């Protein structure tokens, strides 16, 4: 009998844990105050322009942390998405593509640029 009560309690704890934790991790609440002002198409265009400008600054003035920048952008996007009927999928796709491109740049071309700016010699045959 004690074993049955133990397993019932374990199943209950697991179910409650999944029910409360999973939505918080995968579907966090968005703060509506973070959404850009104005009609949805204009607000999405503002977010898109800010993302592109940040990418340009990142390439020009390395090093710059991408993580905090993208986290702020994601929070603003989530808030705007709650408010608008159009989900802004193209802006989200652009965000993920830019992140991938900038991380690739940091690993490859960016490190080469840093070495050149520091005056280091680049071995011949370096792609």
Residue 97 pLDDT level (bands cut at 50, 70, 90): very high
- Cβ burial, residue 88 (10 Å; 0-12/13-18/19+): buried
Domain assignment present for 122: no
- Are 5 and 42 in a shared domain? no
Residue 65 is given by DSSP the state: -
The boundaries of the domain holding residue 94 are 31-117
- Are 21 and 45 in a shared domain? no
DSSP run (H or E) holding 40: helix 40-60
Is the pLDDT at 123 greater than 60? The verdict is no
Average per-residue pLDDT in the chain?
80
Residue 69 pLDDT level (bands cut at 50, 70, 90): confident
**30 or 78, greater pLDDT:** 78
Average pLDDT over residues 98-112: 83
């Amino acid at each position: 009998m004690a074993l049955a009560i133990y397993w019932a309690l374990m199943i209950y704890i697991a179910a409650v844990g999944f029910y409360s934790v999973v939505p918080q991790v995968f579907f966090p609440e968005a703060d509506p105050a973070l959404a850009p002002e104005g009609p949805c198409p204009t607000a999405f265009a503002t977010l898109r322009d800010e993302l592109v400008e940040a990418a340009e600054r990142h390439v020009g003035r390395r090093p710059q942390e991408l993580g905090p920048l993208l986290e702020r952008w994601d929070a603003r996007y989530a808030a705007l998405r709650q408010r608008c009927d159009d989900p802004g999928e193209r802006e989200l796709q652009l965000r993920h593509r830019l992140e991938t491109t900038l991380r690739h740049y940091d690993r490859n071309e960016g490190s080469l640029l840093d070495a050149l700016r520091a005056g280091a010699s680049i071995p011949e045959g370096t792609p």
